Structure 1
Amino acid sequence: MLSSEAEYLQEMGISRWDVIHPQRLEGYHAESIVLPEECKLLLVSAVKPKGELAELFERVLKSMGLTLDQSLHLFPNQMPYLGKQSLDWIWFSGGEAIELEGVNLISSPLLADIQGNTQQRRQLWQQICKYDH
């Protein structure tokens, strides 16, 4: 389930449950998450950016020459279902990073911890710049 669908259910007051180990269900085949072709950066974080954090995320994207339309958010528990993709960047915010072949990797604390923290912002920028050609 996409994060926007999960938020919609939450707003309606409908409880939602995720199976932690779907592979243990006999005969179950999870659908792969297919990213749109225009998605160049995937943010993997337990917290979806909203408000001021979304503005910070957008500023970082802009500094990378990307727009919000070229990025998507996934929760960490959705990563095992990520299908074939054509990403340029994957950004793990506040969680364990997993390398994907041929994809630039960024790993940082949660956006809330970066906001207002000059040292964390500098470290994030250094990671981005190391891929500059």
Structure 2
Amino acid sequence: MSQHTLSYLQEMGITSFQLLHPERLVGYTPSELILPESCQLLLVSPQFPEGDSAQLFENILKTIKLTVAQAAHIYPAQLASLHQHQLKWVWFAGCQSQALEGVNLLSSDSLAQIDGDTQRKRALWQQIQRYQ
């Protein structure tokens, strides 16, 4: 299911489920994850940003001079499906980071843990400043 579809379902209050290990299914063929050309930042996190976390995510995007339309969220298991991209930033929030060539990498605790914690926000800000 596409991230766009998941967002609509969440807005309507419909819970969706995603297999953690689809490769274990007989006959599974992984599909390639294709991001919109406008996507500059990819948030890799086990939690989809919503509520206060979504507001924090938007505020952090502003510090990088990006909009929500220029960002996307995927779950950590989906990262293996990402092939071609034009990303400038990949942010691992609340999960193990992985090296990706040619992008600025950010790594932090989950958005929920960062929200309201000055020390964690400062650590993230220092990572952002290293690239600017």
TM-score category by the smaller chain? 0.7 to 0.9
SS of 1:61 mapped into structure 2? helix
How many angstroms apart in 1 are the aligned matches of 2:17 and 2:117? 35
Correspondence for 1:60: 60
How many angstroms apart in 1 are the aligned matches of 2:66 and 2:6? 26
Cα pair distance change 1:12/1:48, threshold 3 Å: closer
Structure 2 residue 26 is the aligned partner of structure 1 residue 25 = yes
Aligned-residue offset at 1:22: 1.3
Identity %: 41
Aligned-residue offset at 1:12: 4.8
How many angstroms apart in 2 are the aligned matches of 1:84 and 1:119? 35
**TM-score between the two structures when normalised by the length of structure 1:** 0.87
List alignment gaps of at least 5 residues for structure 1: none
Q: Stretches of 4+ moved more than 4 A in 1?
A: 9-13
Cα pair distance change 1:68/1:19, threshold 3 Å: closer
Correspondence for 1:93: 93
Aligned residues: 130
**TM-score between the two structures when normalised by the length of structure 2:** 0.88
Q: CA RMSD in A?
A: 2.1
How many angstroms apart in 2 are the aligned matches of 1:63 and 1:16? 32
Cα pair distance change 1:54/1:23, threshold 3 Å: same
How many angstroms apart in 2 are the aligned matches of 1:81 and 1:129? 29
Task: Return the letter of the residue paired with 1:65.
Answer: K
Q: Which has the larger radius of gyration?
A: 1
SS of 1:130 mapped into structure 2? helix
Cα pair distance change 1:48/1:16, threshold 3 Å: closer
List alignment gaps of at least 5 residues for structure 2: none
Cα pair distance change 1:34/1:23, threshold 3 Å: farther
Correspondence for 1:80: 80
